[in-house]
Structure 1
Amino acid sequence: MENKDIKAVYFVGAGGIGMSAIARYFIHRGLVVAGYDKTPSDLTRQLEKEGMLIHYEECVDKIPEACKQPASCLVIYTPAIPAEHQELRYFRENGFEIQKRAQVLGTLTRQHKGLCVAGTHGKTTTSTMCAHIMHQSHLDCNAFLGGISKNYGTNYILSASDYVVIEADEFDRSFHWLRPWMSVITATDPDHLDIYGTKEAYLESFRHYTELIQPGGALIIHRDLEMREQLQEGVRRYDYALHEGDFHAENIRIEDGEISFDFISPIECVRGIELGQPVPINIENGIAAMAMAQLAGCTADELREGMRTFGGVDRRFDFKLKNDRIVFLSDYAHHPQEIYQSAKSIRELYRHRKITAIFQPHLYTRTRDFYKDFADALSQLDEVILTEIYPARELPIEGVTSELIYNNLRPGIEKQIIRKEDVLDLVRSRDFDVLIVLGAGDLDNQVPQITEILKNK
Structure 2
Amino acid sequence: MNLNNIHNIYFVGIGGIGMSALARYFKANNKNVAGYDKTQTDITNSLVDLGVAVHFDDALENIAAPFKNPDNTIVVYTPAIPKDNAELNFFISNGFKVLKRSQVLGLITQNTFCLAVAGTHGKTTTTSILGHLMHECNVALTAFLGGISENYNSNLILNGSEVSVVEADEFDRSFLALSPDLACITSMDADHLDIYGDAAELKKTFEDFTKKIKPNGKLFVKNGLPLKGITYGIEDDSDYSVQNIKIKNGTYVFDVKAPKAVLENLQFNLPGRHNLSNALIALAMAVEYGCPHHQLAKALASYKGVKRRFTYHIKTDNLVFVDDYAHHPEEINAVHQAVREMYPDKQVLAIFQPHLFSRTQDFADDFAKSLSQFDDLMLLDIYPARELPIEGVTSSWLLDKISNKNKQLVSKTDLLAKIRESKAQVILTIGAGDIGEQVKYIKKEFSVES
Q: TM-score range by the shorter chain?
A: over 0.9
Residue 349 of structure 1 aligns to which amino acid in structure 2? M
Contiguous gaps of at least 5 residues in structure 1:
230-236
Segment of structure 1 superposing worse, 318-327 or 40-49: 40-49
Note the C-alpha offset of 1:355: 1.1
CA contact (8 A) 2:346 2:424 kept: no
Note the C-alpha offset of 1:160: 1.7
SS in 1 for 2:92: helix
* CA–CA distance in structure 2, aligned partners of residues 340 and 363 of structure 1: 19
Q: Aligned residue for 1:233?
A: none
Identity, % of aligned pairs? 43
* CA–CA distance in structure 1, aligned partners of residues 138 and 192 of structure 2: 38
Q: Aligned residue for 1:415?
A: 407
In the alignment, structure 1 residue 248 sits paired with structure 2 residue 247? no
Map residues 199-348 of structure 1 onto 2, 5 A cutoff. Answer: 199-225=199-225, 227-228=226-227, 237-244=229-236, 245-348=238-341
Runs of 4+ deviating beyond 3 Å: 428-431
Q: What CA deviation, in whole Å up to 9, does each residue of 1:359-388 have, x standing for no partner?
A: 111111111111111111122221111111
CA contact (8 A) 2:346 2:426 kept: yes
CA contact (8 A) 1:347 1:381 kept: no
Q: Aligned residue for 1:436?
A: 428
In the alignment, structure 1 residue 426 sits paired with structure 2 residue 418? yes
CA contact (8 A) 1:139 1:161 kept: no
TM-score by length of 1: 0.95
Note the C-alpha offset of 1:246: 0.5
Q: Aligned residue for 2:180?
A: 180
Distance 1:220 1:69, change over 3 A: same
Q: What CA deviation, in whole Å up to 9, does each residue of 1:426-455 have, x standing for no partner?
A: 224444311111111111101011011111
* CA–CA distance in structure 2, aligned partners of residues 118 and 224 of structure 1: 16
Q: Aligned residue for 1:154?
A: 154
* CA–CA distance in structure 1, aligned partners of residues 127 and 32 of structure 2: 29
Residue 197 of structure 2 aligns to which amino acid in structure 1? G
Distance 1:55 1:262, change over 3 A: same
CA contact (8 A) 1:141 1:159 kept: yes
CA contact (8 A) 1:355 1:433 kept: yes
Q: Aligned residue for 1:25?
A: 25
* CA–CA distance in structure 2, aligned partners of residues 55 and 26 of structure 1: 18
Q: Aligned residue for 2:35?
A: 35
The total of aligned residue pairs comes to 448
CA contact (8 A) 1:406 1:415 kept: yes
CA contact (8 A) 2:272 2:335 kept: no
Residue 358 (structure 1) aligned to one of 318, 334, 351: 351
* CA–CA distance in structure 2, aligned partners of residues 335 and 53 of structure 1: 35
Note the C-alpha offset of 1:92: 1.3
* CA–CA distance in structure 2, aligned partners of residues 60 and 158 of structure 1: 33
CA contact (8 A) 1:117 1:168 kept: yes
Segment of structure 1 superposing worse, 122-131 or 416-425: 416-425
Note the C-alpha offset of 1:275: 0.6
Map residues 77-226 of structure 1 onto 2, 5 A cutoff. Answer: 77-225=77-225
SS in 1 for 2:413: helix
* CA–CA distance in structure 2, aligned partners of residues 367 and 185 of structure 1: 24
* CA–CA distance in structure 2, aligned partners of residues 408 and 317 of structure 1: 26
Note the C-alpha offset of 1:404: 3.4
Q: Aligned residue for 1:455?
A: 447
Note the C-alpha offset of 1:3: 4.7
Q: Aligned residue for 1:373?
A: 366
Note the C-alpha offset of 1:161: 4.2
Segment of structure 1 superposing worse, 45-54 or 171-180: 45-54
CA contact (8 A) 1:388 1:420 kept: no
In the alignment, structure 1 residue 64 sits paired with structure 2 residue 64? yes
Contiguous gaps of at least 5 residues in structure 2:
none
Segment of structure 1 superposing worse, 242-251 or 273-282: 273-282
Q: What CA deviation, in whole Å up to 9, does each residue of 1:327-380 have, x standing for no partner?
A: 110000000110111111111111111111011111111111111111111222
TM-score by length of 2: 0.97
* CA–CA distance in structure 2, aligned partners of residues 146 and 66 of structure 1: 29
Residue 406 of structure 1 aligns to which amino acid in structure 2? L
* CA–CA distance in structure 2, aligned partners of residues 164 and 422 of structure 1: 45
* CA–CA distance in structure 2, aligned partners of residues 362 and 380 of structure 1: 19
Q: Aligned residue for 1:234?
A: none
Note the C-alpha offset of 1:167: 0.6
CA contact (8 A) 2:119 2:186 kept: yes
Q: What CA deviation, in whole Å up to 9, does each residue of 1:271-323 have, x standing for no partner?
A: 01101324332211111100011111111112111110000000001111111
Residue 107 of structure 1 aligns to which amino acid in structure 2? L
CA contact (8 A) 1:181 1:214 kept: yes
Q: What CA deviation, in whole Å up to 9, does each residue of 1:404-435 have, x standing for no partner?
A: 33223236x42111123211222244443111
* CA–CA distance in structure 2, aligned partners of residues 185 and 243 of structure 1: 19
SS in 2 for 1:407: helix
Segment of structure 1 superposing worse, 158-167 or 324-333: 158-167
* CA–CA distance in structure 2, aligned partners of residues 394 and 317 of structure 1: 27
SS in 1 for 2:313: strand
SS in 2 for 1:420: coil
SS in 2 for 1:421: coil
* CA–CA distance in structure 1, aligned partners of residues 423 and 3 of structure 2: 60
